Amino acid sequence: MQGRVAVVTGGGRGIGRAIAVKLAREGAKVAVSYRANDEAAKETAALVRDAGAECEVFRGDVASAGDVAALFEGVEAAFGKPEILVNNAGTTRDNIMLRMKEPEFDEVMETNLKGAYLCTQAVLRSMVRARWGRIINISSVVGILGNAGQANYAASKAGLLGLTRSVAREVAARGITVNAVAPGYVETELTGGLEESVKDQIRGQIPMGRFGEAEEVAEMVAFLAGEGAGYITGQTLAVDGGMAMQ
Ligand code: NDP
């Protein structure tokens, strides 16, 4: 993907950072979006540049149409039209359904699902003109299996799978692929808050018996973003140690 322009939302930390670095190693120019953590984003930019690639970081909320418009104006000014989009920005507001507050539901849906809608719409026209594009949506094993205490998150991640398949059908004939990656449990700040006893319980449900690494998710994203994956679209690729075998 030498010289390709890639945008990774939520690339400031965790899985998004690993994706940004991996795409940089593969030769892409990388734009990273993040919501608030300037320091983390600066670290990602340094890692991407160390990997030999150009990098720009953009602060903004993927759930805000104005912020997303500013993000893609910035990307175009810095690098040109985006050719690879990784919708990775995501968040959780866990609660059991009986207690889940409307803002908890809305916030998760807006970041995880509406954010992907806004960013996809922002890149699609130029990809159609170029007759080439790669869109990769980061879903979750939870979007496939469900998870007690995460109805909002699971709904947003399952929603992403429907979005993926629908957009994939719309643009398949234009040389654009749209796929989802469904990671299992990966050690990041998102899962860092889990108690050790809960982590042990989770490990018990993973055939491989361990959490995944962000870099293991990034490998799959890089594969899907590359030339070699040009005949794969509308798919959900699980990177989950065998949790959700299909
Ligand atoms: P982290 O919480 O470690 O990082 C999330 C990143 O997304 C940060 O860079 C954060 O910005 C950014 N972000 C969050 N909300 C917004 C927003 N509204 N607008 C713009 N950026 C935002 O998460 P992970 O790396 O663990 O997760 C990455 C993706 O992978 C998510 O979609 C998550 O749902 C998914 N996933 C994670 C799993 C895991 O076990 N960790 C398992 C399955 C899926 P900032 O740094 O500024 O806060």
CB-count exposure of residue 225 (10 Å: 0-12, 13-18, 19+):
buried
How many angstroms is it from 16 CA to the middle of ligand 1? 7
Residue 207's φ and ψ, nearest 5 degrees, are -50, -35
Domain 5-239: give its CATH code.
Answer: 3.40.50.720
231 has catalytic annotation: no
Per residue in 225-238, pLDDT (tens digit) is 999 999 999 999 99
Q: 30 has which bridge partners? A: 6, 55
Measured distance CA(215)–CA(198) in Å, rounded: 23
For ligand 1, is residue 185 a contact (CB within 6 Å)?
A: yes
First to last CA, the chain: 30
Per-residue pLDDT, 209: 97
Q: Is 64 helix (H, G, I), strand (E, B) or coil?
A: coil
By most ligand atoms within 8 Å of CB, the mutation choice from 19, 34, 112, 136 for ligand 1 is 34
Query: What are the tens digits of pLDDT across the range 106-144?
Result: 999 999 999 999 999 999 999 999 999 999 999 999 999
* DSSP conformational letter for 234: S
Q: Which residue puts its alpha carbon closest to atom 44 of ligand 1? A: 140
89 alpha carbon – ligand 1 mean position (Å): 5
Which letter, b or e, does each residue of 74-84 get, where b requires 16 or more Cβ atoms within 10 Å of its Cβ?
A: bbeeebeebbb
pTM above 0.85, yes or no: yes
Plot region of 175 (φ>0 → left; ψ -120 to 50 → alpha; else → beta): left
